[in-house]
A and B are shown apart, each in its own frame.
Chain A
Amino acid sequence: MTALALTRRAALAGVGLTVELVAGRAFAAVDHQLAKRKLVVVICRGGLDGLSLSPPVGDPDYAGLRGAIAIPPFGADGGALRLDDTFGLHPALTKIHALALAGEARIAPAIATPDRERSHFEAQDVLESGAARVYSTSSGWLNRALAAMGPEGKAISVGPTAPLILHGPREAASWSPGGLAQRDQRLPGILQDLYAHDPLLGPALAEGLATQAMARTALADAAAASAAMQSANPAPGLLQAARIGADLAGFMVQPGGFQIAAVSIDNFDTHANQGAAKGQLATRLAYVDAFFDGLRTGLGESWRASLVVMATEFGRTARVNGTGGTDHGTASTALVLGGALKRGGIIGDWPSLRQASLFENRDTYPTLDMRALFKGVLRDHLGLERATLDAKVFPDSARVAPVTGLV
Chain B
Amino acid sequence: MTRDLDGAIAATRFGLGARPGQIENASGDPRAWLVAQIKADGAPQPEPRSPTSGERLAELREYQRQRTLARQSGDAKSDPVKMAAKLIRDDAGADFMARVRLAATTDDDFAERWALFFANHFTVSAAKGATATLIGPFEQEVIRPHAFGRFEDMLVASSQHPAMLIYLDQAQSIGPDSQAATRAARGGRKVGLNENLAREIMELHTVGLEAGYSQADVTEFARAMTGWSLGRLDQSQEPMGFMFRPFAHEPGARTIMGRRYAEDGEGQARAVLADLAASPHTARHLALKIGRHFVSDQPPASLTARLARAYLESSGRLDVVARALVAAPEAWVSPPAKVKTPYEFLVSSWRAMGVPPDQGGAMAAAMTSMGQRPFSAPSPKGWPEEAAAWASPDSIVKRMAWSETFAARAAGQSDPIQVAENALGSRLGPLAAQTIARAETRAEGLSILLMSPEFQRR
The distance in angstroms between the C-alpha atoms of A118 and B202, with both chains bound, is 13
In the assembled complex, how far is the CB of residue B218 from the closest CB belonging to chain A, in whole angstroms?
8
- Name B370's contact: one of A46, A160, A200, A204 (CB within 8 Å): A160
Bits for A182-201, please: 1 = Cβ < 8 Å to B, else 0.
11101110110111001011
Measured between beta carbons, the chain B residues less than 8 angstroms from A387 are: none
Closest to A198 in B: B453
The distance in angstroms between the C-alpha atoms of A126 and B404, with both chains bound, is 39
- Name B394's contact: one of A119, A167, A174 (CB within 8 Å): A174
Given contacts A161-B384, A190-B435, A327-B195, contact A204 B444 (CB under 8 A): no
The distance in angstroms between the C-alpha atoms of A195 and B452, with both chains bound, is 8
Does A152 reach chain B (CB closer than 8 Å)? no
In the assembled complex, how far is the CB of residue A235 from the closest CB belonging to chain B, in whole angstroms?
13
Bits for B157-181, please: 1 = Cβ < 8 Å to A, else 0.
0000000000011001110100001
In the complex, the answer to whether B395 meets A200 with C-beta atoms within 8 Å is: no
Closest to B174 in A: A322
In the complex, the answer to whether A201 meets B404 with C-beta atoms within 8 Å is: no
DSSP majority for the B interface?
A: helix
Does A178 reach chain B (CB closer than 8 Å)? yes
Does B231 reach chain A (CB closer than 8 Å)? no
Does A392 reach chain B (CB closer than 8 Å)? no
Given contacts A271-B196, A322-B194, A327-B195, contact A118 B215 (CB under 8 A): yes
In the complex, the answer to whether A183 meets B431 with C-beta atoms within 8 Å is: no
The distance in angstroms between the C-alpha atoms of A208 and B199, with both chains bound, is 38
Per the CB 8 Å criterion, the residue count for chain A at the interface is 58
Measured between beta carbons, the chain A residues less than 8 angstroms from B414 are: none
In the complex, the answer to whether B173 meets A161 with C-beta atoms within 8 Å is: no
Does A74 reach chain B (CB closer than 8 Å)? no
Measured between beta carbons, the chain A residues less than 8 angstroms from B387 are: 200
Given contacts A174-B394, A176-B371, A272-B169, contact A187 B194 (CB under 8 A): no
Which of B75-83, B185-193, B312-320 touches A? B185-193
In the complex, the answer to whether A328 meets B400 with C-beta atoms within 8 Å is: no
- Name A184's contact: one of B195, B369, B379, B404 (CB within 8 Å): B404
Residues of A114-130 at the interface with B, using a CB-CB cut-off of 8 Å, are 117-122
Bits for A84-122, please: 1 = Cβ < 8 Å to B, else 0.
000000000000000000000000000000000111111
In the complex, the answer to whether A45 meets B378 with C-beta atoms within 8 Å is: yes
In the complex, the answer to whether B369 meets A67 with C-beta atoms within 8 Å is: no
Closest to B390 in A: A161
Does A211 reach chain B (CB closer than 8 Å)? yes
Given contacts A194-B453, A266-B378, contact A321 B393 (CB under 8 A): no
- Name B395's contact: one of A45, A46, A161, A269 (CB within 8 Å): A161
- Name A204's contact: one of B176, B193, B384, B392 (CB within 8 Å): B392
Name, among A184, A205, A269, A320, the residue most crowded by chain B CB atoms within 10 Å (CB to CB): A184
Does B127 reach chain A (CB closer than 8 Å)? yes
Residues of B396-437 at the interface with A, using a CB-CB cut-off of 8 Å, are 396-398, 400-401, 404-405, 408, 431-432, 435
Q: Which 3 A-B pairs have the closest CB atoms?
A: A322-B192, A160-B371, A208-B393
Where the two chains meet, the residues of B that have a C-beta atom closer than 8 Å to any C-beta of A are: 127-128, 168-169, 172-174, 176, 181, 190-196, 199, 203, 209, 215, 339, 369-371, 378-381, 384, 387-398, 400-401, 404-405, 408, 431-432, 435, 440, 443-444, 447-448, 451-453, 456
Additional pairs, 5, CB under 8 Å, beyond known A208-B395, A211-B397, A322-B181: A180-B397, A183-B408, A188-B400, A194-B432, A266-B379
